[in-house]
Amino acid sequence: MRLLNSDQIAAAKKRIRAHEKRDDEKKLTDEAKNKFEGLIYEFRGFLRDDENEAFVSESDREELLQKTEDSEEWLYEDGSNVGYKVYQEKHYALLADYSKIKNRKDEHDDR
């Protein structure tokens, strides 16, 4: 049985911490990517639902549908290997557009 000296133990612990950090980053990235992808589909579905036509103009709808298409294209091409912070930024930007329209509908439904 071979025992490690203190330098080898320290190096092994450092490698373990690096692997744990990498794993944590991967988990955060996967979660952020999935959340962004889900928002794209949810928003697109909302925009295509005839029931929601009264809450967004036709020109805005077309522009926002294009934005969801562009977001999806980016996600599977240029965005396939970015960190979680980039996905979060994209998510928040798209969510801002979605929230405006969804809030209009929610206010109308509450009346």
Q: What is the CATH number of the domain that holds 92?
A: 1.20.1270.10
Q: How many domains does the chain have?
A: 1
pTM of the model: 0.83
Whose CA is closest to 83, among 39, 42, 27, 38? 27
User: In this structure, is residue 104 part of a structural domain?
Assistant: yes
Residue 4: pLDDT band with limits 50, 70, 90: confident
User: In this structure, is residue 5 part of a structural domain?
Assistant: no
* pLDDT value at residue 108: 85
User: In this structure, is residue 88 part of a structural domain?
Assistant: yes
User: In this structure, is residue 21 part of a structural domain?
Assistant: no
pLDDT reading at 38 higher than 80: yes
Q: 93 lies in which domain range?
A: 26-110
Burial of 105 (0-12, 13-18, 19+ CB in 10 A): middle
